[in-house]
Chain A
């Protein structure tokens, strides 16, 4: 009796099917004309669907109810606001960091000036003290 579930036979049949299918499919997906027609057909279907969605939105609007489009817009506005807030927070953080480092740099400059003044003062006082000492000896 002929065995329909013969593994070898099944494998051969699958290989044949695979070969035929892939040849045809390869030809199809590489055919610019076919791809172009498919895209156009899909675009017109989508345009139809978009019109239906718009009609739905309009009917909601007539009933004074928020449509899906309006709700999505509101959500997206919230995302924009969050983004803006994050931008501002980052800018503020940067400003604080810059101010801190500027203050540090300024403090260091002031310290250096103060140090120089001290040295200068000490240098100026030394001859005065010497002459004062000489004067007292006389």
Chain B
């Protein structure tokens, strides 16, 4: 092997293993290329608006990322960015950055995230743009939150259309995580009794590589085999930075995720308490796009297929697609990302 390539591999390998990426590495790669500005903030979360010179006739889009990781898989690299595609197609796009919860927000549960924070973000988007209704685009748990918002009889009045990307809704038999969190053996209150007001990212992220053992073990071998492909190298490193850039979880939100979603499957049972109403999957009736990933190791297709039980599916308002990709590769890998981008672009500009 060429000694230069070897050196490059060892440099990338050591940075990855020691998680010692610097801001310089991020800049060099060009992470988060689409320009945006902060337009609102409250506590740990912020609302950003992407810069756009075009004026759109379509409703503005609010992107709701997952609570588990940072949001920049949606805007990873130039040419590998769903945000870039949406902005270039003339849409007025806003994105939430949930930030890093601290002791002051440890008691904030899922219903608060949706009924207060998300509601406030929607209100801000409406007030800034003057739009009566907006579109919601939720990724992973952000999709779950968007779906619940769209299921509430009052809150849904703000929603023109709902776009879901690898969003789990039916948590029963939804993969390895649902097996691990079986209520018979997983007592979430005891397990988190000593973590303090926030669940440290390492607490749950340490188990993530076990969700896809083979991929985790062959990660560096793959890099070594394809290191001479510049595009691959770039995406590999960008994703590695993202995968190591983990955020803590507010204690109550974590407990709700395990208990209300995984163990009690409240969305499918229509008993999720939100702003004084019991809401569930049936209440979603607006035009909906759901994109699932066939090889998703975080949630299997049973989790995303939950949307097919909604009223939107009954009245022909649901467009459901399964892509041949994984949970994250669905928006970053070539060529599948282009198909995914096209689906969202067409749906939101229809």
Contacts and interface: CB of A to CB of B under 8 A. Distances in A.
Contacts of B108: 79
Given A43-B190, A50-B193, A75-B103, A18 B123 contact: no
Interface string A14-36: 11001001100110011010011
A42 interface: yes
Contacts of A86: 42, 120
B39 interface: no
A22 B185 contact: no
A76 to B, nearest CB: 5
B336 interface: no
A42 B191 contact: yes
A59 interface: no
A18 to B, nearest CB: 5
A72 B194 CA distance: 14
A22 B217 contact: yes
A43 B200 CA distance: 16
A82 interface: yes
Nearest to B102: A75
A22 B213 contact: yes
Contacts of B182: 32, 35-36
A46 interface: yes
Contacts of A90: 120, 123
Interface size class of B (residues with CB under 8 A): 20 to 34
B10 interface: no
A81 B221 CA distance: 52
Given A7-B1, A82-B43, A36 B190 contact: no
A42 B210 CA distance: 17
A76 B107 contact: yes
Contacts of B107: 76, 79
Interface residues of A, number: 37
A47 B221 contact: no
A18 B185 contact: no
Contacts of B192: 46
A72 B197 contact: yes
Contacts, number: 88
B109 to A, nearest CB: 12
Interface in B40-72: 42-43
B179 A35 contact: yes
Interface-central residue, B108, B179, B192, B194, by most chain A CB under 10 Å: B194
A71 B318 CA distance: 48
A53 interface: yes
Given A35-B185, A43-B190, A90-B123, A72 B213 contact: no
B104 interface: yes
Contact of B185 (A21, A39, A53): A39
Interface string A78-90: 1100110010001
Given A35-B179, A35-B185, A36-B185, A29 B191 contact: no
Contacts of B120: 86, 90
Contacts of A15: 221
Contact of A25 (B179, B194, B210): B210
B176 A29 contact: yes
Interface string B143-176: 0000000000000000000000000000000001
B184 interface: yes
A43 B194 CA distance: 10
A53 B120 CA distance: 36
Contact of B105 (A32, A37, A79): A79
B187 interface: yes
A25 B179 CA distance: 16
Nearest to B191: A43
A100 interface: no
A113 B95 CA distance: 48
Contacts of A37: 185
Contacts of A18: 214, 217-218, 221
Given A22-B217, A68-B196, A72-B197, 6 more contacts: A14-B221, A39-B191, A42-B191, A50-B194, A72-B104, A76-B105
**Lowest 6 CB-CB distances: which A-B pairs, in order?**
A36-B185, A49-B194, A50-B193, A75-B104, A43-B190, A50-B194
15 contacts: A29-B213, A30-B176, A32-B182, A36-B182, A39-B185, A39-B186, A39-B187, A46-B192, A47-B190, A72-B106, A75-B104, A76-B103, A76-B105, A76-B107, A78-B104
